[in-house]
Chains A and B, each alone.
Chain A
Amino acid sequence: MRYKRVAAVAMMASLALSAAACGKEGNPTPSGGNASGGAQSDQCTTSGVTFTPKTDVNVAGSPTFQKIKSAGKVTIGVKFDQPNLGYKDAQGKRCGFDVEMAQYIAGTLGVDPAKIEYKEIASANRETAIKGGEIDYYVGTYSITDKRKNDVSFAGPYFVAGQDLLVRKDDSSITGKDSLKGKKVCSATGSTPIQRVRDENLTEPNNIVEFKTYSECVSQLLDKKVDAVTTDDAILKGYAAQNPDELKVVGQPFSTEKYGIGLPKDDKALRDYVNDQIEAAFKDGTWQKIYDGTLGKSGSSATPPQLERY
């Protein structure tokens, strides 16, 4: 009886200890050093571009814009586990190419980047989240497809990627999509890449592995439980750049993925407006700056894609 009580007290004490965060301040970095203190904000500015909100914006006839304006904030769906594209760093800041594009667009809609509410939406739930109004728009490696256009509409593309393969560095047996037979291939549940693997029968159905996030796939790849991770090269290059000793990208893209900004289906006014703003970013070099500060860090260059208005 007595020792149980002692155990309970001890447990409570250890809980209280862990609650009284006795940790170091600053940004955890793997080397142990304390990178860039600086102003603490919710925003990550790897590109160094600052997004100032426009004043006097009006998007006539756009219900979404009215909603944003009256709420004074914008809710954006993002990914959270894609290096250099959309992720949360160890300080809880949102970073990456997609996130900065999302911030840029929020600025052009007259919303202060500090008033952005981010929502992490898994690939399989994107259409539902936009249709249901859970988010105002979605920026997160969202490929423009005709099928998705039945449910949502797209501004952009603001980037073009291609589906590629990430493999272990010492694995030379996988050279492209036609060498996947008999290999275990991993990707995110409900994503375009895994649908392509299934539809084109690139490997046997039993060898398709699905997790909620790409990080889990990469972990399984390093543990030799799968042989390849497949998704867009932009994402894979980010992983390879973070662990160049063990991972490599095959470099034989076998699709064209046009990343668009997912908007509610019937809001043409907003779509046209966002397209104009993306075009402006292409022209004035903002896009290039964002790219160089995020995706460009993994060593490849890119130029703005062709907009597809409809």
Chain B
Amino acid sequence: MTSVLYDLPGPKARRRNLLLSVLATAGIVALIAFIGYKFSATGQFEPRKWEQFQYASVQRELLTGLWATLKAAGIAAVLALLFGAVFASARLSDKWILRVPATFVVELFRAIPLLILIFFGYYVPLQYGWSIDKLWALVIGLMLYNGSVLAEIFRAGINAVPYGQSEGAYAIGMRKNQVLRLILLPQAFRSMLPAIVSQLVVLLKDTALGFIITYPELLFVGKQIGGRLPFGLPYVPAYLIVAAIYISICGLLSILAWWLQKRLSRLPRTAGKVLPAQDIGRDASARV
């Protein structure tokens, strides 16, 4: 294997790499062993702390929490995709009356922390005397934030289609609507897909913020289970289990994103590059 940083290693470099590998592995194993040892020394592996999880009722609690998480994420995902589509098309519009307000809304919601948006969704209706379900307070916050990010992903995706494509389409007499629907979207969709999936992973993870308004999602349930004093406050076991669930689900989605990216890059390249599947910036910045 050769990369931009180094050539195919020769015999000496291979020996050195092997040595470094062994040292690094030893270091990592030692760190894990230290954590395991300390956890067992402070009794994190005592049966008392894990006993609860054998019971169907506790497993049901976790499943209910998982369901609440998936429900909030599912509804919010659909709404965020809609929100993103509407605002992206407004931002791509020729009419400033649509473009300017849409830009304002998208930029605004991307700048506000999600936590504050959720607070808005929860406290403000209550202050004016409407009772709002916590699910919807959470969903609204998730929709506004992730919808704005998705709007940017959509816009960047459409802009990334080479200009010649739409020029050609106009030249054969297509109308704007047709150009967008028949030429730009199908090509842009391919390049956007991994970025969209990554953003949905972010959305799923962000449902964990529901704990702040006591929406009974997975992390909140984990906290309740961990807070049972008769079982010795098993926060560590409860959080380990919750983390494993989150990592598996988000991991599955990430693998899906990775797989899509691989698949799409095999197809003939008429469109621009595939947008990077990174939720990093939670921002598909316009550079492609």
A→B interface (CB under 8 Å): 1, 4, 7-8, 11-12, 14-15, 18-19, 21, 23-30, 32, 80-81, 83, 88, 90-92, 120-122, 125, 128-129, 131-134, 212-213, 215-216, 218-219, 222, 239, 242-243
Contacts and interface: CB of A to CB of B under 8 A. Distances in A.
Which of A7, A14, A91 has the most B CB atoms < 10 Å from its CB? Answer: A91
B258 interface: yes
Contacts of B231: 28, 30, 90
Contact of B229 (A25, A133, A134, A239): A239
Given A8-B255, A11-B252, A27 B126 contact: no
Contacts of A25: 55-57
A222 B126 contact: no
A215 B233 contact: yes
Contacts of B262: 1
B54 A131 contact: no
Contact of A28 (B58, B226, B235, B248): B58
* Size band of the interface chain B makes with A: 35 or more
A81 B224 contact: yes
A133 B55 contact: no
A29 B51 CA distance: 8
B225 to A, nearest CB: 8
A7 B251 CA distance: 10
Contacts of A213: 223, 227
Given A30-B230, A92-B60, A128 B224 contact: no
Given A14-B248, A24-B56, A216-B227, A122 B259 contact: no
B3 to A, nearest CB: 20
Interface in B121-151: 123, 125-127, 129-132
A131 to B, nearest CB: 7
Interface of B: 47-48, 51-61, 63, 123, 125-127, 129-132, 211-214, 216, 223-233, 235, 245, 248-249, 251-252, 255, 258-259, 262
B63 A128 contact: no
A4 B262 CA distance: 12
B129 A131 contact: yes
B249 A21 contact: no
B59 A23 contact: yes
A132 B63 contact: no
A23 B54 contact: yes
5 contacts: A11-B251, A23-B54, A32-B51, A90-B57, A215-B226
Contacts of A133: 129-131
Given A83-B229, A218-B229, A132 B126 contact: yes
Contacts of A219: 226-227, 233, 235
CB-based closest 10 A-B pairs? A215-B227, A132-B126, A23-B56, A21-B59, A134-B131, A28-B55, A242-B229, A91-B57, A128-B126, A30-B230
B56 A132 contact: no
A243 B56 CA distance: 25
Given A28-B58, A222-B233, A132 B127 contact: yes
B51 A21 contact: no
Given A212-B211, A218-B229, A23 B58 contact: yes
Given A128-B123, A213-B223, A24 B55 contact: yes
B61 A92 contact: yes
Given A21-B63, A120-B216, A8 B227 contact: no
Which of B58, B126, B229 has the most A CB atoms < 10 Å from its CB? Answer: B229
A279 to B, nearest CB: 30
Nearest to B251: A11
A99 to B, nearest CB: 15
Which of B130, B233, B258 has the most A CB atoms < 10 Å from its CB? Answer: B233
Which of A18, A19, A81, A213 has the most B CB atoms < 10 Å from its CB? Answer: A18
B52 A90 contact: yes
Given A4-B255, A128-B126, A19 B63 contact: yes
A243 B55 contact: no
B257 to A, nearest CB: 12
Given A4-B258, A212-B211, 19 more contacts: A4-B255, A19-B63, A23-B54, A27-B55, A28-B54, A90-B52, A90-B225, A90-B228, A90-B231, A92-B61, A131-B126, A131-B129, A132-B129, A132-B130, A215-B226, A216-B223, A222-B233, A239-B229, A242-B230
Nearest to B249: A15
Given A23-B58, A24-B56, A8 B252 contact: yes
Given A30-B48, A120-B214, A92 B248 contact: no
B49 to A, nearest CB: 9
B188 to A, nearest CB: 26
Contacts of B229: 83, 215, 218, 239, 242-243
Which of B47, B54, B262 has the most A CB atoms < 10 Å from its CB? Answer: B54
A18 B247 CA distance: 14
Contacts of A212: 211-212, 214
B129 A27 contact: no
Nearest to B262: A1
Nearest to B235: A219
A129 B225 CA distance: 25
